[in-house]
Amino acid sequence: MEDLSRLCVHTITTKPWSLEIAVEQYARAGIPGIAVWRDVLEGRSISAVRSLIANAGLQVVSLVRGGFFAAADAAARKRAVEDNLRMIAEAAELGAPLIVLVCGADPAQPLAESRKQILDAIREIAPVAADAGVKLAIEPLHPMYTDTKSAIPTIKSANDACVELGLDNVGVALDVYHIWWDPEVENEIRRCGEIGALFGFHVCDWRVPTRDFLLDRTIMGEGCIDVAGIRRMVDAAGYTGFIEVEIFSSELWATDQSKYLQRIVQAYLEKV
Amino acid sequence: MEDLSRLCVHTITTKPWSLEIAVEQYARAGIPGIAVWRDVLEGRSISAVRSLIANAGLQVVSLVRGGFFAAADAAARKRAVEDNLRMIAEAAELGAPLIVLVCGADPAQPLAESRKQILDAIREIAPVAADAGVKLAIEPLHPMYTDTKSAIPTIKSANDACVELGLDNVGVALDVYHIWWDPEVENEIRRCGEIGALFGFHVCDWRVPTRDFLLDRTIMGEGCIDVAGIRRMVDAAGYTGFIEVEIFSSELWATDQSKYLQRIVQAYLEKV
C-alpha cells in the first residue's frame, strides 16, 4: 500500500501490550485504525476506552470476536446468543461499527446442524445489531478449524450464508490466513462484493512450516500467501475499508513489540 | 459395513510392522485388500512382494504415493516426472491397478502456477500409466497442506482437474480426512461419480483436538468425521471399490499393533 491511511491493527497482534500502550504506540506509528479484542474491555469502562482511543486520534474499526453459536446443547446456544447481544451493546458503546463473528462448530453434531444453528442465531441477533447501528461480519475460518471453531470454512459458504439470511447488516470478514488456499478465492471475493457483503479484510501470512495450529501466523511477506494479490482482488470487489493486521504468534509476541510494530508497518507498505 | 469384503488397509497404518508381518496379520484378520506404501518396496524384489501378497490371499489395491509435481525449479519438476514414471513401472510389476497422487505445491510460487505444473506433469505420465494398465488418482489434500503438499485442496478442484485433463485413467481418490469439512462434499462427490472419476476412497477420523499437523489421525468413529455419512455419499455416487484405511498416528503406532488392527476391523464394521 502506498500509505497508512487504511491500516488497522488488532490489539491481539501486540498482545503483550496493555490497551493504553497499544493505543499510544499505534498512534505514534501513524496507524489510524484499531480493532479491539474483547478481552481488553474486561475490567475497563467502555466509554473510557472509547475516549482513550478517540483522544489518540484512532478510529475503532471492529470489535473482535463474537459468534460461537453452534452447540449440541440448547442451553449453550442460548448463552451464546445472550453473550453476543451483550457484545452488540458493548460495540455500540465503544463506537465499533462492526463485530467479527467466529461462528462456531460442535464436533458432537453434524456440520449441517452447526451451520443451521449459526444462521438461526444470526437471524436472532441481527435486528438488535441493526438497531444499535452495528454490522456483523461472518469470518470464514480455515478448514483446520472446522472441528470446534467454525462450520463456515470457505468464502463461498460465508457468501451463501449472507444470501440465505438476506440481512443488510450481515456480511463477511475475509482474512487471507483463512482463504488463501482456496481455488475459488477470486470468484468468491468478486461475488462477495457483488452481493454487497464485503465488510472487512484481515491480513497476516502463513508461515512455512507452520508449527502450531493457532499461534504461528507471521508478518505479511514472510510466509507463502500472495497477500498483495488477494488485496487487489478485494479492492477490485469494491472494498475501500480498513485493512486489519491480525497476527497471533507466540514467537513474535516474545520479541520487542515496538520493533515488531515497525516491521508490520513496513510490511504493510511493501507487501500488502 | 456389513462385512469385510471391501476392506483394505494401508501398510503405513501399521507402520511398525514389516511388510511380511503386515501381510500375515491382515490376512489372519480377514482383510482382503492391501495398499502398499512405496517405502516397503525399498530393498525388496517387487515380484517377490507381489507373490508374498498373492500367496496370503490379499489383493493389491493401490501403490501410495506418487505426485509432488509442483516446483519452481524446472529440474526438480523433471526429477518428479521421472520418479513417477519409475513408480508406474513398479505398480505394473506389483500388480497395483492404481497410484495415489499427492500432487505437490511449492510455497515459492503462486498456487495457480503449482496447479498448472501438476496438470502438465499428469498429462505427461498418464499415457505411460495407461499403457501399463495403471490408473492415477488425484487425492485432494486438506487445506492445511496447501503450502507444501498439494495445490489441489478440494474435491471440486480435483474434479475440475480431471475434467480439464479428460483422460480415462486419471481420477480422484477421496480421503474423509481431507474432505469432511467441505460444505460442497455431497455435491462434489456426486459430480465425481458422474464424471466417472471416483477411483478410490480412504477412511480414518479427525481427532478432537488434533495435536499434530501430520501424525494425529485416529480410528473411524473416534473423531468428529461422519465417516458413514460420507461413505454413503460415495456409494450413492456409484463407487463399489475397496474402502482403504489410512491412519498416520504416532500415538497409535506406539500401541500393540495386533490389538490396534482389531480395533480398526471393529470400527470398519460399526462406524463406516
As to burial, measured by CB atoms within 10 angstroms (0-12 exposed, 13-18 middle, 19+ buried), residue B82 is exposed
Q: Which residue of A has its CA nearest to B150?
A: A181
Please tell me the predicted confidence (pLDDT) of residue A263.
98
> Which residues, 6+ apart, have CB-to-CB distance to B123 below 8 Å?
B165, B167
Q: Return d(Cα A214, Cα A41) in angstroms, integer.
A: 22
Q: Is A111 near chain B, with CB under 8 Å?
A: yes
Nearest chain B Cα distance for residue A157, angstroms: 7
Three-state SS letters, chain A: CCCCCCEEEEHHHHCCCCHHHHHHHHHHCCCCEEEEEHHHHCCCCHHHHHHHHHHCCCEEEEEEEEECCCCCCHHHHHHHHHHHHHHHHHHHHHCCCEEEEECECCCCCCHHHHHHHHHHHHHHHHHHHHHCCCEEEECCCCHHHCCCCECCCCHHHHHHHHHHHCCCCEEEEEEHHHHCCCCCHHHHHHHHHHCCCEEEEEECEECCCCCCCCCEEECCCCCCCCHHHHHHHHHHCCCCCCEEECCCEHHHHCCCHHHHHHHHHHHHHHHC
Indicate yes or no: CB of B143 within 8 angstroms of CB of A182: yes
Q: Is A148 near chain B, with CB under 8 Å?
A: yes
Residues of B in contact with A222 (CB under 8 A): none
Please tell me the predicted confidence (pLDDT) of residue A195.
98
Q: Return d(Cα A51, Cα B111) in angstroms, integer.
A: 45
**Cα dihedral: B257, B260, B261, B264 (round 10):** -160
Indicate yes or no: CB of B142 within 8 angstroms of CB of A142: no
Three-state SS letters, chain B: CCCCCCEEEEHHHHCCCCHHHHHHHHHHCCCCEEEEEHHHHCCCCHHHHHHHHHHCCCEEEEEEEEECCCCCCHHHHHHHHHHHHHHHHHHHHHCCCEEEEECECCCCCCHHHHHHHHHHHHHHHHHHHHHCCCEEEECCCCHHHCCCCECCCCHHHHHHHHHHHCCCCEEEEEEHHHHCCCCCHHHHHHHHHHCCCEEEEEECEECCCCCCCCCEEECCCCCCCCHHHHHHHHHHCCCCCCEEECCCEHHHHCCCHHHHHHHHHHHHHHHC
> Per residue in A190-234, pLDDT tens?
999 999 999 999 999 999 999 999 999 999 999 999 999 999 999
> Which residues, 6+ apart, have CB-to-CB distance to A14 below 8 Å?
A22, A25, A257, A260, A261
Indicate yes or no: CB of A229 within 8 angstroms of CB of B110: yes
Please tell me the predicted confidence (pLDDT) of residue A50.
98
pLDDT less than 50: residues of chain B: none
Q: Is A201 near chain B, with CB under 8 Å?
A: no
Q: HSE on the CB side for B182, CA within 13 Å?
A: 25
Indicate yes or no: CB of B143 within 8 angstroms of CB of A184: no
pLDDT less than 70: residues of chain A: none
Distances (CA, A) of A229 to A196, A204, B190: 21, 13, 33
Distances (CA, A) of B265 to B32, B101, B247: 12, 26, 13
Q: Which residue of B has its CA nearest to A224?
A: B107
CB atoms within 10 A of CB B74: 9
Q: Which of residues 5-24 of B touch A (CB under 8 A)?
A: none
Q: Which of residues 16-75 of B touch A (CB under 8 A)?
A: none
Residues of B in contact with A160 (CB under 8 A): 183
Q: Is A115 near chain B, with CB under 8 Å?
A: yes
Distances (CA, A) of A115 to A104, A107, B109, B133, B223: 9, 12, 35, 44, 19
List the Cα angle A30/A140/A196 in 5-degree steps: 75
Indicate yes or no: CB of B181 within 8 angstroms of CB of A209: no
Please tell me the predicted confidence (pLDDT) of residue B112.
96
Indicate yes or no: CB of A183 within 8 angstroms of CB of B208: no
Please tell me the predicted confidence (pLDDT) of residue B152.
98
Q: Return d(Cα A40, Cα A46) in angstroms, integer.
A: 10
**Chain A, chain B: beta-carbon pairs less than 8 Å apart:** 78
Nearest chain A Cα distance for residue B85, angstroms: 28
Q: Which of residues 117-146 of B touch A (CB under 8 A)?
A: 142-144, 146
Q: Which residue of A has its CA nearest to B230?
A: A110
Please tell me the predicted confidence (pLDDT) of residue B205.
98
Indicate yes or no: CB of B115 within 8 angstroms of CB of A183: yes
Q: Return d(Cα B159, Cα B161) in angstroms, integer.
A: 5
> Per residue in B146-166, pLDDT tens?
999 999 999 999 999 999 999
Q: Which domains does chain B have, with CATH numbers?
A: 37-51+62-235 (3.20.20.150)
Indicate yes or no: CB of A147 within 8 angstroms of CB of B213: no
Indicate yes or no: CB of A157 within 8 angstroms of CB of B183: yes
Q: Which backbone phi and psi does A152 adopt, to 5 degrees?
A: -115, 90
Q: Is A184 near chain B, with CB under 8 Å?
A: yes
Q: Which of B153, B182, B229 sits opposite A181 (nearest CB)?
A: B153
ipTM: 0.96
Q: What is the CA radius of gyration of chain A?
A: 17
Residues of A in contact with B142 (CB under 8 A): 143-144
With left for phi above 0 and alpha for psi between -120 and 50, is residue B181 left, alpha or beta? alpha
- Model pTM score: 0.97
Indicate yes or no: CB of A143 within 8 angstroms of CB of B146: no
Q: Which of A108, A110, A143 sits opposite B181 (nearest CB)?
A: A143
Please tell me the predicted confidence (pLDDT) of residue B204.
98
Q: Is A153 near chain B, with CB under 8 Å?
A: yes
Q: Return d(Cα A17, Cα A6) in angstroms, integer.
A: 22
Q: Is A206 near chain B, with CB under 8 Å?
A: yes
